Amino acid sequence: MNILVTGAAGFIGMHLSLKLIKLGFNVIGIDNLNEYYDLSLKLSRLQKIKAKQENFEFFKMDLNDKEKINNLFKDFRFDAVINLAAQAGVRYSLENPQSYIESNISGFLNILEASRNNNISHLVYASSSSVYGINSNVPFNENSNSDHPISLYGASKKANEMMAHSYSHLYNIPSTGLRFFTVYGPWGRPDMAPMIFAKAILDNKPIYLFNNGNMIRDFTYIEDIVEGIIKLIKKTPVKNLLFDTKKNMSSSSFAPYKILNIGKGSPVNINYFLELLEDKLGKKAIKKMLPNQPGDVQLTEADTSEMFDWVGFKAKTNIEIGVDKFLKWYTSYHKY
């Protein structure tokens, strides 16, 4: 199978590409290599994949380059597309909202159009737990209300789900949207809490804890995320013949469409996460308490039963083991 991975130099994209290559898939990766965060980290990830070059081809490409995207689809005739490329980050959406429209809306439209014109058998794409917004009915279920995101990032991911649904309905494109919950692990993004906290502790810098540290996140280890995506590739959504328009059935549709949470289902208080880092690094953090930030939600927790029922997947990595693996990579990569 030829599989396209967009955002291949990203955190999830790198790990997924490596696993697909190991399983014998032909992986074509694209990434625009923007400088939202440290470009050298993206290039290092890319170099790690290129070491497995026999099954991997990479093209520097932006999702907004419609002509290049269309030509890529025609040249490789992909069996499946996994769209992970996006402008990430909740807080950055307050500073640069335009980039979210360009990458997450316009860019995704080009992926949908190319999928329509090239008879893609399965489009898997990244959504986010941010779509749940102010919903306080936890754990979040795929059929829970997700109409009130509180960041433009969350709104753009909700828009992706709706766009994919319309294409699944109009053009019979099987699509699966994955609502990721706080992914962490080796090679992670430096704008995420694990990297920020580890760096601050090791450099004796203060850590700013929003909402006075009273934040709870459903941390999900990267290897679990990749395993879940792999299981989904060949599990193509079908039309739900029992779909009832009078009921809230957001996770499936009369179209070949699926929405799934992919998380651990075991939320962790940020303070406990920080304690694990302190314990394993043997250093205490300098903590600065701050009020909540616009766009931040206090609690995320995934109901993972739908994912288990669909492909038999449940995340296994406990937070203590995941943090240990993350820190071994972090201190080695950054030479602490």
Pairing of strands 123-128, 80-83: parallel
pLDDT of residue 246: 82
Average pLDDT over residues 42-57: 90
pLDDT for 245 beyond 90: no
Average pLDDT over residues 107-114: 98
pLDDT at 51 exceeding the cut of 90: no
Question: Does the structure show a pLDDT above 70 at 80?
Answer: yes
How many other CB atoms are found less than 10 A from the CB of residue 43? 12
Please confirm, yes or no, whether 167 is among the known catalytic residues.
no
CATH of the domain at 116: 3.40.50.720
**At 89, is the pLDDT very low, low, confident or very high (cuts 50, 70, 90)?**
confident
Residue 90 pLDDT > 80:
no
β-partners of residue 220 are: 183
For residues 257 and 168, the answer to whether their CB atoms sit within 8 Å is yes
For the chain, what is the domain count?
A: 1
Q: Cα separation of 160 and 166, whole Å? A: 10
* Active-site hit among 92, 125, 153, 221: 153
pLDDT at 329: 98
Evaluate whether 237 touches 252 at the Cβ level (below 8 Å): yes
- Give domain status of residue 282, yes or no: no
Beta-sheet strands, E only, within the chain: 2-6, 26-31, 56-60, 80-83, 123-128, 175-180, 183-184, 206-209, 216-217, 220-221, 257-262, 268-269, 286-289
Domain presence at residue 99 = yes
Q: What is the mean pLDDT of residues 115-128?
A: 97
Question: According to the 3-state scheme, what is the secondary structure of 123-183?
Answer: EEEEEEHHHHCCCCCCCECCCCCCCCCCCHHHHHHHHHHHHHHHHHHHHCCCEEEEEECCE
- Give percent of the chain with pLDDT exceeding 90: 82
pLDDT at 230 over 70: yes
In a domain, 215, yes or no: no
Mean pLDDT of 312-318: 97
Q: How far apart are CA 130 and CA 297, in angstroms?
A: 8
Whether the per-residue pLDDT at 25 is higher than 70: the answer is yes
The pLDDT assigned to 295 comes to: 66
* pLDDT tier at 199, thresholds 50, 70, 90: very high
| Mean pLDDT calculated for residue range 29-44 | 94
Per-residue model confidence as pLDDT tens digits over 142-155? 999 999 998 899 99
Instruction: State mean pLDDT over 198-225.
Output: 94
Cα 34 to Cα 53: distance, rounded to the nearest angstrom: 23
pTM above 0.85, yes or no: yes
Higher pLDDT, 162 or 151: 162
Question: Does residue 135 belong to any structural domain of this protein?
Answer: yes
pLDDT for position 71: 98
Average pLDDT value for residue range 130-146? 92
Percentage of the chain modeled with pLDDT above 70: 99
Residue 239 lies in a domain: yes
pLDDT tens readout for residues 249-302: 889 999 999 999 999 999 999 999 999 999 999 999 999 988 877 767 788 999
Please give the pLDDT value at position 292.
79
In a domain, 274, yes or no: no
For residues 129 and 133, give the distance between their C-alpha atoms in angstroms, rounded to a whole number: 8
Structural domain of 135: 2-182+222-265+302-315
